[in-house]
Amino acid sequence: MKFLDLAKVHIRSGAGGAGCVSFRREKYIEFGGPDGGDGGRGGDVWAEAVEGLNTLVDFRYQQHFFARNGQHGMGKQRTGKDGEDIVLRVPVGTEILDEDQETVIADLTEVGQRVLLAQGGNGGFGNLHFKSSTNQAPRRANPGQPGVERTIWLRLKLIADVGLVGLPNAGKSTFLAATSNARPKIADYPFTTLHPNLGVVGVDGREFVVADIPGLIEGAHEGRGIGDRFLGHVERCASLLHLVDATSEDVVADWRTTVDELAAYGHGLAEKPRITVLSKVDALTEEARAAAEEALRNATGGPVMAMSAASGEGVREVLRALLETVRDRARAERTKPRTEEEAWHP
């Protein structure tokens, strides 16, 4: 299935049906009177987060969604039928933006969440509604209210616990393939990964979700390369796994390039817990490996882990460190003070 994380959609709610002007004409009814019914209500347009979807590709082939109009009122006090609603089924993690692509209308982060995007118009009153003691034969009825038409953007941000970041060919896809059932494309040239991949990783009886995004290059925040298009997919992660290629000529420069791009992108990525790992260490001699670890440790000012996804060396230790960051966020969520609305239960 083709991956698509941004889609432009045109929606329109249904218009309300018009009211009816009608009079009773039954035989043996000496005094008739108005009996025109009201028009039906137009259908609404909703968005709902559902299970089983991880792409917005369905909205590439259909961009227009129009709800049904309400039926007009009829004689004998019959109200018109309401228009049917229409529901846009989107993956969990979808942001709904206004036409300016900046104003967030809704952020659907849980299965079953629904949001009203366009409300249908009310139906018009029939002439029966206007009957009174001073106006016993009204000949007026209201038209139905028009529907709401608007253009929105759907932007998917994958729900994952850990995000993989680093330069192209840093070993991110190899790590994901070695630790999960995901099968990302792996090759010996840059930008092998062209769209994000998700994998479920397990260690010590616990599982968490890891997201692999295309590699970043210098100037990515200015539009160079393709990695900046997908940084939004790691905004929701509890932590980042920063892989640095141990076979690079300058591991410190590679590390700094990725860190600078995360800071330039913003949205709190630079402040997220980040585990720095030197990958592909099986390709180095003991002396070269020690020198690379020391140089990277001095640059980061913190601990640096070493790993080889190909041989399995250090992989379990890295997974345990990632699991601890996921647990830390879960504990923080449980202890976070609740507002009065969240704490109240009927």
- Structural domain span for residue 302: 162-335
- Co-location of 104 and 172 in the same domain: no
- Co-location of 125 and 193 in the same domain: no
**In Å, how far are 13, 61, 75, 129 from 122, measured between CA atoms?**
11, 31, 19, 15
Nearest to 277 by CA among 250, 311, 300, 260: 300
Which segments in the chain show pLDDT lower than 70?
A: 1-2, 182, 184-195, 217, 219-229, 333-334, 336-346
Quote the pLDDT of residue 339: 56
Q: What's the pTM value of the predicted model, to 2 decimals?
A: 0.74
- Co-location of 123 and 76 in the same domain: yes
256 within domain boundaries: yes
The CA angle 57-60-62, to the nearest 5 degrees, is 115
What pLDDT, in 10s, does the model give residues 171-230?
888 888 888 876 766 655 555 556 677 788 888 888 888 888 777 767 655 556 555 567
- Co-location of 107 and 179 in the same domain: no
Quote the pLDDT of residue 216: 72
- Is 261 in contact with 218 (CB distance < 8 Å)? yes
Q: List the structure tokens of 300.
A: 């980061």
- Co-location of 171 and 147 in the same domain: no
Edge-to-edge strands, sheet with 6-12:
64-66, 6-12, 149-156, 94-97, 104-108
342 within domain boundaries: no
- Co-location of 139 and 179 in the same domain: no
Q: List the structure tokens of 259.
A: 């860190």
What is the rounded CA–CA span in Å between residue 309 and residue 10? 45
Domain boundary among 156, 186, 210: 156
Domain boundary among 156, 181, 210: 156
- Co-location of 96 and 205 in the same domain: no
What pLDDT, in 10s, does the model give residues 49-71?
998 887 888 898 899 999 999 99
Q: Residue 138, CB half-sphere, CA atoms under 13 Å: how many? A: 20
Quote the pLDDT of residue 1: 47
Domain count, the chain: 2
What is the rounded CA–CA span in Å between residue 100 and residue 42? 27
Q: What are phi and psi of 180, to 5 degrees?
A: -145, 180
What is the rounded CA–CA span in Å between residue 174 and residue 181? 12
- Co-location of 251 and 291 in the same domain: yes
